[in-house]
Structure 1
Amino acid sequence: MDTENLLTIGAFAARTRLSAKALRLYDRLGLLTPAYVDDVSGYRYYRADQSERARLVALLRRLDMPLARIAEIVELEEEQEGERAADEVAAYWAAVEERLARQRALVDYLRARLSGRSSEVYGKFEIETVDVPEQWVLTQRRHVLADELPLWIGASLGRLEEAARECGGVAGAPFVAYHSEVSLESDGPAEACVPVADGAAARAWAAGQGRAWEIRACREPARRLVYTRISKAQVANPQIHAVFEAVEAWIAREGLEVAGPCREVYFADWDAAGPEDLVCDVAFPVR
């Protein structure tokens, strides 16, 4: 092949500000295949118009994007699916920001815990009380470890909300009650709960279809809750334990007594919320 109009790997590296090592890696992964490879010498040659793809790969790598995802975006861009490629970049970065927000909350928790300044963390939370009337709920209880908890909560609340359609509809914010500690070593149990409008229908549904899913219908008595409101980023182990501890400390200072399992009350659309959006109340029943 005539290589006169092609660029050597060194010249192409200089033009794209990528190292020859990076170009060889992108070749192996199929991200940026040379226009020609000499069978005898193994030298790689590139067309000048490949520089745009090379620069796009380099820019995406600066976001610490996995190479497999870069390949998908580059292919979309070359197929003139620019809007879809842009949406993929936006989705990737939204996930990064959510992870960083969770890690930032974890750093704050760990710094306070390790330095013995937990009381400073507690002071960041605004504690309130609310009276919740008696209600009927569909519930599902499971022994579950902390790393399994987010997936189980989503699946269980989704199942209960679907069942609630047969019971007059959802009548309040779904919540998860913790009957014992849930951590990497302790498995609760935890109980997902969805308030429903029609208690009689809930009892009938639970006695029939609900038995296959171990779903029960229960009457939740009227309660006074002490709670604080937290962001999506704060709803994660282990930093959420600081939130529970803050509410417990407030209850003790006020001379109140915990009167039931602590709970997380999900009052916002979890999927639509950003990492800093308020989505959950960490609450304790008291008397």
Structure 2
Amino acid sequence: MRNHPEDDTRRTAGLLSIGAFARRTRLSAKALRLYDRQGLLPPAYVDGATGYRYYLPAQVERARTVVLLRRLGMPLADIAAVLRLDGERAAAALDGYWADVEERHAARRTLVGYLRGRLSGRSTAMSGTFEVRTVEVPETAVIGETRHLVSDELPAWIGDSLGRLEEAAEDCGGITGPPFVIYHSDVTEESDGPAEACVPVADLDAARAWVAARGRARGLTARMEPAYRMAYVRITKAQVVYPQILAAFDAVEEWITQEGLTPAGPCREVYFAEWDGAGPEDEVCDVAFPVR
């Protein structure tokens, strides 16, 4: 049975119709319906017979916050998560989102520079973008984890695998050097490597025992990495992002050819800085090739 008109009047007293609310918030009725479905701005009352939506005046401020967050390009799911938090935690979530935006922007800026060099025919190595250096790396005991995966899967796997290996290193005499990732074959959108995450440890026997206790099904290894001469360039956090990191690999390979050297093993990335605490322009990684 339909409510009596007087009941509807009492229920909507002090509320804003969707049209009035749209004017106050500069949101279209279509946007308000979308935000209702997303749980961002549910109306205070919906007429069961007509479907008309009504809003509390207090919801205007929330709606304006949604508008401003959308202008930042924040996805609706992230906006919903921010709005569920209290003041300080919401501000911290916004800071985290914006740090990610700036990191992506820095990565795109680096990619534009790389593509400009490729399209113009200029050499990335000769343009001064990268300085190639060499260093002698001593024989090192390592524990490793090998995985076949494509480029989109690589960043998450590197963080997870190195975290697992660093935790395991506590049972292998401790960590003795920066972690690194070896690319035994190309990792791209179409090629799945494999890649091997490695952590240097002090006790090779303990590392072998650790691997034996867990079996080799997960691609776990413990071995002695031989000494080698490493040619490398140092890159920033923004430059690590695929595909612009390819410019660093190109620069080292070009330098190796110019110097009359020969690659003596697969290319690798050596992570010498704390990733989470680094900004987009902070140096975090060496892109390297063993050479002879």
Q: TM-score, normalised by structure 1?
A: 0.88
Shift of 1:224: 1.5
Amino acid at match of 2:164: R
Structure 2 residue ranges without an equivalent (≥5): 1-8
Amino acid at match of 1:286: V
2:152 counterpart of 1:147: yes
Q: Contact 2:238–2:281 at 8 Å: present in 1 too?
A: yes
1:94 and 1:121 map into 2 onto residues whose CA distance is 32
Correspondence for 1:112: 117
Alignment of 1:64 onto 2:88:
no
Aligned-pair identity (%): 67
- Equivalent residues of 1:9, 1:43 under 8 A apart: yes
Matching residue's letter, 1:28: R
Kept in 2: contact 1:112–1:121 (CA 8 A): no
Equivalent residue in structure 1 for 2:198, among 190, 193, 196: 193
**Rounded Cα–Cα distance in structure 1 between residues aligned with 2:107 and 2:277:** 16
Structure 1: 5+ residue stretches without partners: none
For residue 12 of structure 1, what is the amino acid of its counterpart?
A: F
- Quick check: 1:128–1:226 contact (8 Å CA) kept in 2? yes
* 1:143-176 Cα shifts (integer Å, max 9, x gaps): 3322222233223222222222121101001111
Asked if 1:13 is matched to 2:13, the reply is no
Amino acid at match of 1:25: L
Alignment partners' CA distance in 1, 2:13 and 2:221: 76
| Aligned alpha-carbon RMSD (Å) | 2.3
After superposition, the Cα gap between the structure-2 partners of 1:148 and 1:75, relative to the gap in structure 1 and judged at 3 Å, is closer
Q: How does 1:1-287 map to 2 (within 5 A)?
A: 1-2=9-10, 3=12, 5-76=14-85, 81-119=86-124, 123-209=128-214, 211=216, 213-287=218-292
Q: Distance in 2 between matches of 1:95 and 1:83?
A: 19
* 2:249 counterpart letter in structure 1: F
Q: How many angstroms does 1:212 deviate by? A: 5.0
Query: Cα distance 1:119–1:91, how it changes in 2: closer, same or farther (>3 A)?
Result: closer
Deviation at 1:5, TM superposition (A): 3.2
Task: Call closer, same or farther: CA 1:284–1:49 in 2, change over 3 Å.
Answer: same
Kept in 2: contact 1:122–1:245 (CA 8 A): no
Deviations 1:244-272 (A, max 9, x none): 01011112222222221111001111222
Amino acid at match of 1:166: D
Deviates more, 1:165-174 or 1:154-163: 154-163
Give, in whole Å, the separation in 2 of the partners of 1:115 and 1:215. Answer: 44
Give the paired residue count.
Answer: 283
Asked if the contact 1:143/1:188 (under 8 Å) is kept, the reply is: yes
Amino acid at match of 1:169: G
**Deviations 1:181-204 (Å, cap 9, x if unpaired)?**
221222222222111112332334
Cα distance change on mapping 1:4 and 1:205 into 2, 3 Å: closer
Whole-angstrom distance in 1 between the partners of 2:222 and 2:92: 42
Cα distance in 2, alignment partners of residues 24 and 212 from structure 1: 51
- How far does residue 31 in structure 1 lie from its aligned partner after superposition? 2.0
Q: CA deviation at 1:4?
A: 5.2
Q: Structure 1's 169 and 122: CA in aligned 2 closer, same or farther, altered over 3 A? A: farther
Does the CA contact (< 8 Å) of 2:114 and 2:124 recur in 1? no
Contact 2:124 2:130 in 1 (8 A): no
Q: Alignment partner of 1:216: what SS?
A: strand
Q: Secondary structure at the match of 2:58?
A: helix
| Partners of 1:15 and 1:51 within 8 A in 2 | yes
